[in-house]
Structure 1
Amino acid sequence: MSVGVEALFTSALGLQPPWVVEDVKLDTAKRRIDFEIGCPQARLACPACGAAAQPVHDRMRRSWRHLDFFQFEAWLHCDVPRVACGDCGKTTQVAVPWARAGSGFTAAFEALALALCRDLPVRQAAALLRCKDKQLWRRIEFYVEQARALEDFAGVQIVGIDETSLRRGQHYISVVHDLELKRLLFATEGRDHQTVVEFAEDLKAHGGDPAQVRHVCMDMSAAYAKGVALALPEAQISYDRFHVVSMAIEAMDQVRRAEMVDDAQTVRSALGADDGKTLRQLLWGMRRNPAGWSRHQLDAMHWLQRSTLK
């Protein structure tokens, strides 16, 4: 290809000297375009200590997946120089400006991948990008760790602890939220007391103080209560209303079912059919706020208040 085309793609890729596109290979059958990038200098600054004009020791072949060009899958290839420094005595590979160290994707490709993964399942994003989902998971883990290293948890005082299950209850994770700033603080596998201990350690690692946590909202897990007593000694515990309401509903259902079995004939006779009351109206009426009762539920609950049922 002509020098003009190579210079055009050097500009399109945002390359600056000493990096230039030396060759472009287009394969229309495979719908792929390969860019050969060169760094012709024989001397470069040492990546380790910054000493100027150090000799290039050798070059190592590297490749990176890039954003598509004209709907063609694009790859960058480069023999990356390694500098032998006479000042520090190290032989160090030069960092390329288009990708982070150790990544097989360019920075632009990684940015697109992460943007897609925010809104799509990772497997679906990988299918769109024509790569493996494990490759995207590795990038997500890397950048999440980078972001978490910058987190500041100083001043956290009120937290919520809960569990969630994956794979239909076969795998559990525990999550901790800052209930004042509405942010996720910590997530880990398991749901025993050690998860709370691990949270306290992570809190300290990010500038927080477990002794300053004064309130924990959680479910009625004895394991979590043990963890709070061990790791958050100044915190009071309150049970979140979802679990309290769930237990209350279950208790009412147990009583209702027992009475329907023990005295089914009396109950059915008392409810009758003329006024539209049914056992189902009682079932759902006890689950709803009075303001949301239907006419039939209102009649059923009015009857229930004057019955001899428990």
Structure 2
Amino acid sequence: MVETFSAEYVHEPIACTKCGGLKLYRHGTKKTTYADAPLRGFAAKLEATVRRYRCRDCGETFLQPLGGVLDERRMTVRCAEFIARQALKHTFVHVAREVGIDEKTVRAVAAERMGELEAKHSPRLPRVLGIDETKIAGELRLVLTDVEGRRLLDMLPARDKGTLAAWLWQFKDRNAVKVVTIDMWRPYQRLAAELLPNAVVVVDKFHIMRMAGEAMDRVRIRLAKVKQPEVRRHWVRSKVMLNKRPHNLTEKQRFNLEIWLDNEPEIAAAYRAKEAFYGLFDLPKDEAIRAFDGFAASVESSVKPEFKPLLTAMRNWRSEILAVFDHKYTNAFTESLNNLTKHIVKAGRGYSFEVLRARILANYGDPVKEPLFFEFLLKDDGNPCANCGLPCRAEDMHLVTLPPVTRGQRAKRALVCEVCESRFNTEKVIAHRKTSTRKTG
């Protein structure tokens, strides 16, 4: 549904737009329709009555210049701003449908805004740099984060040494980086040593712990192959008991797990090895180092082949893994950010990497905000703007008092998006100017 509003621009021109002459007279009107930002969940159009003028000096006619509109796009400035912001969060088709315009127009406005954002994008090196990768548009992309500040710094088109080196070289203050968290990819470690001389490299402990869990799972899969189909299916359903830490198991799960381990010695050996490795990171540093160095000997020979990748990583990355006891940083934020970006990638399937990168930076490039004082109004199933109706991130919402729509209604407190909040404040100022009078005397 489209709501259409009649509008007139009250300011008249004082000079001819063709020759600059001052002798003007009205010469009819012209109806022009402009797209406006959605209002109360409906697409809005302004049907403007535009005055035509003729100049007595040059004889030319021209239309009344309008403020607050983009003639080349046939939309208001606030509509363009609405599109630019929403196109960084939602699909172009969705925004086009909400505004009631063609998708190509949305793409053009979005491209213009993305170009502006790219020109302004100027990341700074943090004290703790997180380096990771995620798959976007079928290829691995480099993700760089400020681990302490919990924000995305940049997303690069490729995960290779040259791309990362070029990104790091642009900074003159590379000595300011004190810690670099990585997964176990040697080019990251080498570049950090070359270009970040004051930084300690820390391997993400959750990455290495995941290897222990995967080793245990390989043992389960190997043993399941010789079991009956119903046993295999039961093991698949029950593997959550193996993956959980003992203190997270229910009484029933603990009982069932004990029976399973009593009947399957190799699974029991793999489970003990996994738990011993996990427990390393709960120990004081000196004890943890001794346990780390003795771990390989504690793994039983029957499950050692499955644990070989973990044991090799422990040998090759010993100092970087143990560095976590002095610098308790992980790539947990980076990993969670990767999971969040998957939603943007899924929603924008088919879009170019540049478009997806702009969206991800726009949504996650700012520091994580403090809890909102109006959290009690937020809903678990999403938070649509009370004015335009589009879904919005909780941290981007503003609490306002909406005026009554019809006689007899009461004003109400509601959450609106940034664009509508700006529009709401503008309308309040205009209303105040109309009702106020000048002082006399």
Shorter-chain TM-score: which interval? 0.5 to 0.7
Query: One-letter code of the match for 2:147?
Result: L
Report the Cα offset of residue 287 of structure 1.
1.0
After TM superposition, the structure 1 = structure 2 runs for residues 3-42 of structure 1, keeping only pairs within 5 Å, are 9-11=8-10, 16=11, 18=13, 40=17, 42=19
> How much has 1:290 moved relative to structure 2?
1.9
Query: Which residue matches 1:109?
Result: 79
Distance (whole Å) between structure 2 residues aligned to residue 227 and residue 18 of structure 1: 62
Aligned residue among 156, 163, 166 for 1:188: 156
Aligned to 2:93: 123
The alpha-carbon distance between structure 1 residues 209 and 174, as it changes in their structure 2 partners (threshold 3 A), is same
Pick aligned residue for 1:287 from 220, 228, 243: 243
Deviations 1:63-94 (A, max 9, x none): 99542799447689999xxxxxxxxxxxxxxx
In 1, the alpha carbon distance for the partners of 2:190 and 2:72 equals 42
* 1:298 corresponding residue in structure 2: 254
Cα distance in 2 between the residues matched to 1:145 and 1:296: 57
Contact 2:37/2:82 (<8 A) preserved: no
Relative contact order higher in (CA < 8 Å, ≥ 6 apart): 2
Is 1:218 aligned to residue 182 of structure 2? Answer: yes
Conserved 8 A contact 1:122-1:136: yes
CA distance in 2, matches of 1:113, 1:250: 45
Code of the residue aligned with 2:82 in structure 1: it is: L
Indicate conservation of the 8 Å contact 1:218/1:239, yes or no: yes
Distance 1:78 1:225, change over 3 A: farther
Q: Which letter maps to 2:212?
A: A
Larger strand percent: 1
Q: Tell me the distance in 2 between the aligned counterparts of 1:195 and 1:158.
A: 20
Q: Map Cα deviations across residues 230-288 of structure 1 (whole Å, 9 max, x no partner).
A: 543433222334433332221111122334457x69xx8xxxxxxxxx64576221211
Aligned to 2:140: 172
Q: What amino acid does structure 1 have at the position aligned with 2:239?
A: L
Q: Which runs of 5+ in 2 are unaligned?
A: 1-5, 22-31, 53-64, 270-441
- Provide the C-alpha distance between the structure 1 equivalents of 2:134 and 2:49, rounded to a whole number of angstroms: 42
Q: Say whether residues 1:228 and 2:192 are aligned partners.
A: yes
Q: Report if the CA contact (8 A) 2:33-2:46 is conserved.
A: no
Between the aligned partners of 1:198 and 1:122, the Cα distance in structure 2 is 32
TM-score by length of 2: 0.42
Deviations 1:7-61, CA, capped at 9 Å, x for gaps: x6113xxxx5548xxxxxxxxxxxxxxxxxx9546239xxxxxxxxxxxxxxxxx
How many Å apart are 1:289 and its aligned residue? 2.3
Q: Classify 1:104/1:113 alpha carbon distance in 2 versus 1 (closer, same or farther; 3 Å).
A: same
Identity level (%):
19
Counterpart of 1:240 (choices 186, 199, 204) is 204
C-alpha separation in 1, matches of 2:110 and 2:92: 10
What SS does the aligned partner of 2:141 have? strand
Distance 2:92 2:220 in 1: 46
Task: Tell me: CA distance 1:176–1:98, structure 2 relative to 1, closer, same or farther (3 Å).
Answer: same
| Cα distance in 2, alignment partners of residues 67 and 102 from structure 1 | 14
Compared with structure 1, are the counterparts of its residues 175 and 142 closer, same or farther at alpha carbon in structure 2 (3 Å cutoff)? Answer: farther
Which amino acid in structure 2 is aligned with residue 283 of structure 1? K
- Does 1:197 pair with 2:165? yes
Q: TM-score, normalised by structure 1?
A: 0.57
Query: What is the RMSD of the two structures over their aligned residues, measured on CA atoms?
Result: 4.4
Q: Which runs of 5+ in 1 are unaligned?
A: 1-5, 20-37, 45-62, 80-94, 269-277
Residues 109 and 288 from structure 1, CA distance in 2 versus in 1: closer, same or farther, beyond 3 angstroms?
A: same
